[in-house]
Structure 1
Amino acid sequence: MVQHVLTLNAGSSSIKFALFEQEAELVERLRGEVDGLGTNAPRLAASEGDKAIADERLDAARAADHETALGAVLGLLQKTIGHTAIEAVGHRVVHGGIDFTQPIALDAASLDRLAKLTPMAPLHQPHNLAGIRAAQRAFPDAMQVACFDTAFHRAHPWVNDTYALPREFYDQGIRRYGFHGLSYEYVTGRLREIAPPEGQDRAVIMHLGNGASMCAIRDGRSVGSTMGLTTLDGLPMGTRCGELDPGVVLYLLQERHMNAEQITDLLYNRSGLKGLSGLSQDMRELEAAGTLEAAQAIDYFVFRIRRELGAMAAILSGFDAVVFCGGIGEHAWRIRERVCRDFEWLGIELDDARNRAGETVISTDRSRVRVLVIRTDEETVIARHTASLLARRATS
């Protein structure tokens, strides 16, 4: 019997979705996105493989929030595949805290526990949960499954998880979690397929996009991440600050008399590439801008990636592969070039022609470290976990 799995990745102003069929194996039928939720110009785009099946501007009322946007997705599904039953819906949930270390079938109690983690992921968690609640109403008979970005990192050594605070804070959950785990899980699997066995033992994966982080991988497992308790830490991002002296927050509180809400808005929404450039968080706009501020924002972004690459080398005692993924990592060849420049001492030798062409392997044939570009696919990872839980329930 063919079963259908829908995946939803709900962001602040978008819902990414994909439909999979499960019989002998899991097969993708279509995927797409509703973008611009809550604006005057929302859009619905979708494709079946390389074939576009939708690209339309929606009336603002059809994408005012996650629930109405999901209605537009349902309309597309019915138009494309008919009134097919959805047996399970898989969701990306950014923060799983201490307790959620693997995908789970959701219930009211688990949703309440996930809502309590919102302060640690205020840009993501509310929207993830809004997508879940909208899906529960749209598919009341379907299994709802949460897949966590933090789960991939839960095998970290203690020294990579803790802060130098009194121990009770660690026991209460104030620790380094790491994020982008669904992306890292997919890319790690693809690396096993692409690279020879001796090139898989120690890898650094860079997920570079509007959110950005780096992960040290040893034998397929995460052993270090640039992100911490929240999605603010580590690399500078589109609108997020990245690593910050905690004394800056104290100074803003005490001397600038800013309150928690104002500081949250500053660090999450007005910093990073957008704050440094005074222009945009979009790398394409920054590269084309030609202003000193835009150039300095890019310089800082590259500098921090290079600094963390050296730290990852220390964690892994060297590495065999470096992988770029995410919107910037996959498409911005100039960033990749600048990140890898003058790293021959670490074994990295970039092939300029391969890099500019966006090939999968962009290092030279003689480079000791393989440098790759792998397109990430969180939806496939969510679908696999969801189908696995669905199958488990069927046999229990």
Structure 2
Amino acid sequence: MKIYITEDDMCTTQKLNLARVQRWLEANGATIVDEEAEADRLICMTCNGWSLLEQASYDRINKYKDDFKDRMIVLGCVVDAHPRNVAELYNGPAVGTKGTRPLSFGGIEELFPEFAIPLEDIPAQSIFRRKEDYRDYNLSKRFINIAEGCAFNCSFCTHKPGLGNRRSRPLDDIMKQIEQCVKEDVRVVNLMGMETALYGMDVGSSYPEMLRAVLEYDESYEVHVAQFQPQGIFRYYDELLELFSNRRVTDIQVPIQSVSARIMKMMNRREHSDRVGPFMKKLRAANPRVVLRTDLIIGWPTETVEERMASLDFAGAHFDEISLYTIELSPDLPAWKYQPDAFGTAELDEIRRTSRDYLNANYNVVVSTGQQEDSSMKDAELKRIQLRERRMKEAV
């Protein structure tokens, strides 16, 4: 059987899950082909991250639905987040992301009943399936999903409707990946997920327990901490400070979003800057190697200039790298009620530009505006490399 997998716009977590699905297909004798014309079956990938990515998913479905008809499988977060939209375009097989198990796309097994090797026999992957999926192709750095889905219910989030609730991987399963990384001489392990701070609460574990096990297993690799929500600092302050102070922890991402309690309430989030600020100062003193990163949501409906500046100044004072985002409000989500007070597109562009310029002028930080302006990511890359080199020198 020859299978073609379309281009995808998915997050790192789902790219790794897709790599696992490909391994499973190949283990059962299927061949992944580079041209759709050669394929017996086609897997059409979807993503719900931004409206542009959602629309690109619908465009892909429309592109292939006639030629492949019942030979196409639509797969990804749009299937869960917008099932009616998918059904209007295509009435064939579809596989969502949500599930009861930590690793996504388990529903695909039902579409290949003839396969002898079950998907559960294929381990979680730490390498993307294609070189093109990497921003920086470097196999000495590996991505390890510790959990999928999210424990929070942010009023604006388009991701959770596709990804579902938090599903933590068992610690022993994570450690098997760490063991394999050591065997393959991996130098950096990135502990990641949609949100990671509340890892383990659903499987009788915790983030500190997991991180301690990873650090103590072997000393041959550095550890990067991704998508660690401030709630984790609030919950595990002292234990976490000890663990993050280990100089093998060299990158930590804590998305604070805003320091306005009013705005955070509108986002259905708690504001923890009173704990995050002192924590970051102590951490910087204890671990000069670590690069501290955060995300800010700016231009939230009704946000005042004073509220925005307070968030920018807090981030500039406590972090090394700052990603600035403005939010697309969706009519499917609770935050849509704030749409009448939302800034216009031109205003949001100006807010991102002036915020970026302010941070660059007043703080020695790396600033980008993420997927919304890809050029800013490229502009930030050189400063990012220089920052890491400086942190290494400071730690000597």
> Higher helix share goes to which structure?
2
Q: If the length of structure 1 is used for normalisation, what is the TM-score?
A: 0.31
> Higher strand share goes to which structure?
1
